[in-house]
Structure 1
């Protein structure tokens, strides 16, 4: 199959840039899903899931950045580790995001990790979800401008 990733590699296509587009597309989808969760059609919003999806969107956008730049092996798998070697403006936003939301995705999912004696639903209110979305949008815009610069 000529369109498969392995055939693209054999033909000499720059697979890291292909990866960048895929990872960035998923980052945008994650952020859009988080935005949708802010205003669910049924039931109460789960702001911890908005924060979690924003965390994953930021992580995937940083991976896309590294793939696009051809930085070789990723420096790490968490957001703080992925900040190595990125542009200062992107690093600053991601750092603010992590300081605000935390650098542990599990804290947005599991009781006891978020804060002792509290559930993630209690720890991540509307204000955190709104700010997480803003940081996510800002960071994804910067990465998008780099990946899709004309």
Structure 2
């Protein structure tokens, strides 16, 4: 029974992180922390790194805190929460940084319906270089309209 609960917490955390990514992106990155996110929409530097990468570090620290709570406070739920955040971070990095933005030249030929939909949604999001008028702030679960054939 505990294994099932552990798996449910892990999966719930993973799915909740998509909501957190959407919320953070829409209300924080395109809000009061636009100064950290704007170089992702309009590159204004020559570095491989972006100020926007600070958000990745924030969620990594949150994940580490849950691992530490599990290890040092014997809080069992800390492990599946920490792993759920970590797994979402890996998924986000693969889809967003590698697949969509090609920060590493991998998955360039992926052309299935999901890949096309996610790319299309992200392209629509990036057509706005300012912080206003944006749309499609999610990453892994984007609205169905982006999966329709054009």
Q: TM-score, normalised by structure 2?
A: 0.35
Q: TM-score, normalised by structure 1?
A: 0.35
